[in-house]
Amino acid sequence: MTPLQSLPVELIINSAQLNLAIQEMIGLSAIALDTESNSRHHYPEQLCLIQIATHNKVQVIDAISLKELEPLRKVLTDDSVMKVVHGADYDIRCLDRHYGFRISNLYDTYTAARFAGIPQVGLAALLKDLLGVTITKSKQLQLADWGSRPLSREAIDYAATDVFYFLALQKIIEQRLQALGRTTWVSEECKRIEEVRYRPPDLETAYLSVKGAENLDGRGFAILRSLFLFREEEARYQHRPPFFVMPDAALISLSTTPTTALSAVTGLQRGVGSQRFQQGLQQALRDGLAAPLIQTPAVVSTGPLSPEQLHRLSRLKVWRASLGATLSLDPALVWPTASLERLAKAPDTFGVEVTSSNIRRWQRDQFASSLHGYLESNV
């Protein structure tokens, strides 16, 4: 494999360069794709870089300098060009959120590695175990604001490093999958990942997901909602992530004891020095105290499992674990836990369950017969 040091790394900062780069990609069998965002430094986050690697070049597209990236859609949606991504879920959401881009013919090396029975599927571990490559990560660049300009040469090379290895990684993992007869399994999973879309949070209910919210009463929920909305507005004003403005622990602390001095609340010491921030926070507390009580949201549940059903679920998990061990496959991939729970409650619904959209075609083809037999003879 050609070392990265001898491979050209180009920074794309204008439309002419982008159009030329895209022309070079048309007709290729595969490209590797990665992105860099600045979610630690900006709110809402920005998609800052799109890195694309071929067998003879890495191109780093500056999405901050280039306001128009529409020409890239042609490559991303070209079904004849495989796009190799590692842990594609986040990248797909980013591309959808910022540009409405879709990806066709995706190959997620993270997902593929799991199906290949590789125990450590993080990128660093895969590169070391499969390619013998150890990448030294700069802590400073890992935490860097990728939206800052100009980009240093060190930053550009850093952004190019990971994506450079994706194509070689894909080739090795695919060979393992072919030997195991699992290529169609991964193809189906990757098709599902292609359908991932960005969904903006519902601010009217998002406060319920704050850690510790489940312990609040009706007044606490009203205060938390008011504080949460204030934090969201303040984060957009400051262009900083919400957790930098106010950590979740501070929201819960104030929702529980709203009369606490702000200077005594852990995580607020940096923010209370601003008079504008302090006034806004105090107003949010007053609004929460004056708002109608919020009925404690009911936990969505279909009811607890009976002792008999718990025993049945335990046996079903034994079936799954045993099959996973035999195949050197993560048991979670063999059959969905939620499906096993439904079958534990109502084993006679197997025919409906196995044809639901929750069950992959490869799972149905490979394991449904075994599961049905196990249900009839053991549970």
CATH of the domain at 316: 1.10.150
The number of domains in the chain is: 3
Say what the pLDDT of residue 378 is: 75
Say what the pLDDT of residue 299 is: 42
Show which of 194, 221, 241 is a domain's final residue: 194
- Three-state secondary structure call for residue 67: coil
* 280 in the same domain as 161: no
Say what the pLDDT of residue 5 is: 65
In a domain, 225, yes or no: yes
Say what the pLDDT of residue 300 is: 40
In a domain, 199, yes or no: no
Place of tokens 């199906």: 115
In a domain, 201, yes or no: no
Say what the pLDDT of residue 6 is: 67
Q: What is the pLDDT along the chain (379 residues), one digit of tens a residue?
A: 566 666 799 999 999 999 999 999 999 999 999 999 999 999 999 999 999 999 999 999 999 999 899 999 999 999 999 999 999 999 999 999 999 999 999 999 999 999 999 999 999 999 999 999 998 888 899 889 999 999 999 999 999 999 999 999 999 999 999 999 999 999 999 999 999 999 999 998 999 999 999 999 999 999 999 999 999 999 999 999 999 999 999 999 999 999 999 888 988 866 566 889 999 999 999 999 999 999 876 544 456 889 999 999 999 999 999 999 999 999 999 999 999 999 999 999 999 999 999 999 999 999 999 999 999 987 6
* 126 in the same domain as 16: yes
Neighbouring residues of 7: CB distance < 8 A, sequence distance ≥ 6: 56, 57, 58, 164
Show which of 290, 324, 358 is a domain's final residue: 290
* 254 in the same domain as 135: no
* 283 in the same domain as 134: no
CA distance 74 to 162: 24
In a domain, 300, yes or no: no
Say what the pLDDT of residue 272 is: 61
Say what the pLDDT of residue 274 is: 83
* 172 in the same domain as 42: yes
The first and second tokens of residue 199, run together, are 């969904």
In a domain, 326, yes or no: yes
* 135 in the same domain as 237: no
Rounded to two decimals, what is the model's pTM? 0.91
Say what the pLDDT of residue 182 is: 98
* 129 in the same domain as 13: yes
DSSP 112-137: HHHHTT-S--SHHHHHHHHH---PPP
Domain coverage including residue 112: 4-194
In a domain, 297, yes or no: no
In a domain, 265, yes or no: yes
CA distance 33 to 76: 10
CA distance 374 to 379: 7
Q: What's the angle, vertex CA 348, arms to CA 343 and CA 349, rounded to 5?
A: 65
In a domain, 97, yes or no: yes
* 211 in the same domain as 91: no
Q: What's the angle, vertex CA 80, arms to CA 77 and CA 86, rounded to 5?
A: 70
* 190 in the same domain as 220: no
Show which of 194, 214, 238 is a domain's final residue: 194
* 173 in the same domain as 138: yes
Q: What is the CATH number of the domain that holds 110?
A: 3.30.420.10
Q: What is the CATH number of the domain that holds 229?
A: 1.10.150.80
